[in-house]
Amino acid sequence: MPRYNYTYKALNSLVGKAIHRYDMIENGDRIAVGLSGGKDSLTLLWALAERRKRVPVHYDLCPIYVDPGFDGGRGEALADTCRDLGFFLTVDRTDHGIVAHSAANRENPCFLCARLRRKRLFEIADALGCAKLALGHNKDDIIETLFINICYAGEISTMVPQQEFFNGRFTIIRPLAMVEEKNIRRFAKARQFPEYNNPCPSAGITKRSEIKTMLEGLYRTNRKIKGNIYRAMSHVKMEYLLK
């Protein structure tokens, strides 16, 4: 039996737990899946596709890739991977990454690029008749975003597993919200997902990378810390916060 069957069993359990806890998917949903070419989004697409075979809930999946415009993009190779999984990939070529890294942009390049990508994903999802957008953010991403917002935005907030936009017209879901990055990495390796080159000039030198390094050092001191931080986000004592 392929090793990924063992790793998928654990991953599928956490995906199912998140979907049920936050009521992410309903019968008849048409779900856009935002792909980046990384292990997280490919694992997300694979997990949702496999889960569809085993649950009494019908939903359609429409993978989308928004190309940021750098040379050596992933669009064609990612389309081939999706085809192997039985999906047609909608590829949208933009100049978001180039604009975000240009002198005309006074914001953080990652912030602007992500904002433009999100906007385009909503537009394409709408054109495809999808009211839900699934993104591959995992448990580590959610924790890291909490610390990014504390350190660089001066607020206590993070990404949530399910979030409505435009008065409920669109809903973002994050089915990997309870899955740790290391387990996704193991699954992607066992499943032999292709690894694509990331042409973004900011890859590996972002604020998120700094926070990730800080947290990894903290986790090494006590294996319970990551779980405690994650649980703390749903156990907030407002009376012990500043007003």
Q: Given this model, what pLDDT does residue 114 score? A: 87
Cβ(32)–Cβ(132) below 8 Å: yes
Q: Which CATH superfamily is domain 3-240 in?
A: HUPs (3.40.50.620)
Q: Given this model, what pLDDT does residue 106 score? A: 72
Q: Structural domain boundaries of the chain?
A: 3-240
Buried b (16+ CB within 10 A) or exposed e, 206-242: bbbeebbeebeeebeeeeeebeebbeeeeeeeeeeee
Q: Given this model, what pLDDT does residue 70 score? A: 84
Query: Which residue shows structure tokens 């385009």?
Result: 120
Give the residue ranges of the chain where pLDDT is below 70.
1-6
Cβ(69)–Cβ(95) below 8 Å: yes
Residue 204 tokens read as: 């590996």
pLDDT digits (tens, 9 = 90+) for 30-60: 999 999 989 999 999 999 999 999 999 999 9
